[in-house]
Amino acid sequence: MQLKAPAISIILLACVFCCAARTSRNLEVQSPSQIRPIAASLALSPGVVQVKAQPGASSTHILTMTNLTGTRFGFVLEALDVVTRDGKRVFVPAGETEGGIARSAVFVPRAIVLNPGEAGKVEVTFTIPAEPKVRAVVAIFHGRTALPGTGSFMITGSLGTLITYNLSTKTEIRAGAPTISPQTDYANLQVSERLENVGQEPVVPKGTLAILRSSGELIGRVAIQPNRLLPGESFDCKVEYPHTLRAGKYRAMLSIQYEGGVQTNSVEFQVE
Amino acid sequence: MRGARLFLIVLLLSGGGKCAAQGIGIIGINLVTDPSGIALTGSGTTAAVMSLGTVQAYGGTVPTGVTKNLNATSFTLNTIVDLQVTFLGILSPSYTLTAQLLTTDVINTWKINSKTLSTTATTITSSGAYGTTPVNFALTVPFSEAAGTFANTIEFIVTSN
């Protein structure tokens, strides 16, 4: 029996998903509504690993790369530290950051070659130093497949797994004052708030925007999607209220929930 | 037996080996020809080739989907390539995209979305939206460069946020 390409892809993706479930401890149950269709030629599982540990601990992770193309692909593994500079993530080569974790990476194997339709596993072990200064690393599968062509320019795609480390309970976020972008004939009401991770550990804040009448009556709520923030990282949280508000006075309440608790801010506004 | 238990207690108290991990999602990538860009050999995979053919500052022919701009002392070739990034799962609202050259080039200037590339990874975006994203490619060649053949590879690296 010969399977056609789409059928093979679906089966492989199912296999990848099963592998992800097997290799990840305490995997979260995923809501079907939150699963987006995937049409990739390369797929890496898991995309993110969240580790809770203490300094000095080692953790081993199995990363699975699947080649869904008809071409043979080769990959070389590398670990980089992830640090925050000016509120943004930067990848730093292993060994360049004091207290980095990437320098401890041990990949088995260090490189893999995948035939069409094949999935390959790489085991990576990281050891957290006694005085760690970073809280995330990336394990990158560098695509190293040369295609024939003289005087040509090649583009290659590589994927990495982000691995974050929570090493204590010292989590804290700072939420700025919420601001309002009024609704117009062409745009919905938007409420914005700047979130900054001022703690020592990664956080994944999420929450709810509630719109209340001045009397306190709840009119509607909108879920705020989770957003990962490494220490020092900041994020402009923008939430759109998808319904039209009638003229009147209102209050927007932003309630942000994270590993260290809940922060709630509110702002009053008027719709003309 | 008692000694083994004691060892385990000491190990847990010292923190050595105490670790819990949670893996989330699957990330995927594709390089695809943009409708208004150069045709990629290998479109739909993650190793694609842009064949610019024989180009020159004055005269010559540029491939379909490529534009050439003459500057005072150089000329620039521009085109668009589509990057498809997907994430199957939750807790990853966006991705980080970096790009780098695999071979040092001290003569020509390579840019992705106006950011100059080198052999060190340059962050193109730290909040990329999952889906199809066109990326602008620009190669600036100085008039002083001798005629000849040259090649290079741009590596896109995608990680979930």
Same domain, A142 and A201: no
The nearest alpha carbon in chain A to B86 belongs to A38
| pLDDT at res. B9 | 42
Same domain, A91 and A123: yes
Residues in chain B, total: 161
Q: Within 10 A of A92 (CB to CB), how many other CB atoms are there?
A: 17
Mean pLDDT of A56-78: 93
Residue A95 has pLDDT above 70, yes or no: yes
Residue A132: which pLDDT band, with cuts at 50, 70 and 90? Answer: very high
Beta strand spans in chain B (E): 19-24, 26-33, 40-41, 47-50, 67-70, 74-88, 95-101, 109-112, 115-116, 122-128, 131-142, 152-160
Between A9 and A117, name the one with better pLDDT: A117
Q: Which helix (H) or strand (E) holds A138?
A: strand A136-143
| pLDDT at res. B6 | 44
- The per-type count for chain A, helices as H runs and strands as E runs, is 1, 18
| pLDDT at res. A29 | 30
- Domain CATH for A189: 2.60.40.10
Domain around A235: 173-271
Residue A35 has pLDDT above 60, yes or no: no
Q: Which of A151, A166, A181 is the last residue of a domain?
A: A166
Give me the phi and psi of A32, to 5 degrees please.
-55, -30
3-state class (DSSP) for residue A19: helix
Alpha carbons within 13 A on the beta-carbon side of A89: 31
CB contact under 8 A, B126 and A89: yes
Residue A178 has pLDDT above 60, yes or no: yes
The two three-digit tokens of residue B94, written as one number: 């966006």
Residue A259: which pLDDT band, with cuts at 50, 70 and 90? Answer: confident
| pLDDT at res. A12 | 41
pLDDT tens profile A154-177: 999 999 999 999 999 999 999 999
| Tally of domains in chain B | 1
Same domain, A182 and A221: yes
Residues in chain A closer than 8 A to B121 (CB atoms): 91
Same domain, A136 and A200: no
On whether residue B88 sits in a domain, the answer given is: yes
On whether residue B111 sits in a domain, the answer given is: yes
Q: Which of A166, A182, A201 is the last residue of a domain?
A: A166
Same domain, A178 and A243: yes
For chain B, list residues with pLDDT below 70.
1-18
Closest Cα of chain A to B123: distance in Å?
Answer: 8
| Tally of domains in chain A | 2
A36, A91, A226 member nearest B86 (Cβ): A36
- Which string of b and e fits A170-200 if b means at least 16 CB within 10 Å? ebbbebeebebeebeeeeebbbbbbbbbebb
- Which string of b and e fits A122-148 if b means at least 16 CB within 10 Å? bebebebeeebebbbbbbbbbbbbebe
3-state class (DSSP) for residue B116: strand
The nearest alpha carbon in chain B to A203 belongs to B91
Share of chain A above pLDDT 70, in %: 83
CB contact under 8 A, B86 and A160: no
| pLDDT at res. B53 | 77
pTM for this one? 0.83
Domain around B43: 21-160
Residue A149: which pLDDT band, with cuts at 50, 70 and 90? Answer: low
pLDDT tens profile A224-258: 989 999 999 998 999 999 999 999 999 999 999 99
Closest Cα of chain B to A166: distance in Å?
Answer: 10
- Domain CATH for B154: 2.60.40
On whether residue B34 sits in a domain, the answer given is: yes
CB contact under 8 A, A41 and B49: no
3-state class (DSSP) for residue A54: coil
Same domain, A109 and A79: yes
B28, B87, B90 member nearest A42 (Cβ): B28
pLDDT tens profile A187-226: 999 999 999 999 999 999 999 999 999 899 999 999 998 9
B15, B47, B154 member nearest A147 (Cβ): B47
Phi-psi region of A10 (alpha: psi -120 to 50; beta: other; left: phi over 0): alpha
Mutate one of B97, B101, B159 to test the A interface: name it (highest A CB count within 10 A): B159
On whether residue B113 sits in a domain, the answer given is: yes
The nearest alpha carbon in chain A to B16 belongs to A57
Residue A34 has pLDDT above 50, yes or no: no
Residues in chain A closer than 8 A to B28 (CB atoms): 38-44, 159
Give me the phi and psi of A183, to 5 degrees please.
-70, 145
Residue A42 has pLDDT above 70, yes or no: yes
Q: Please tell me the distance from the alpha carbon of residue A225 to that of residue A212, in angstroms, as a whole number.
A: 20
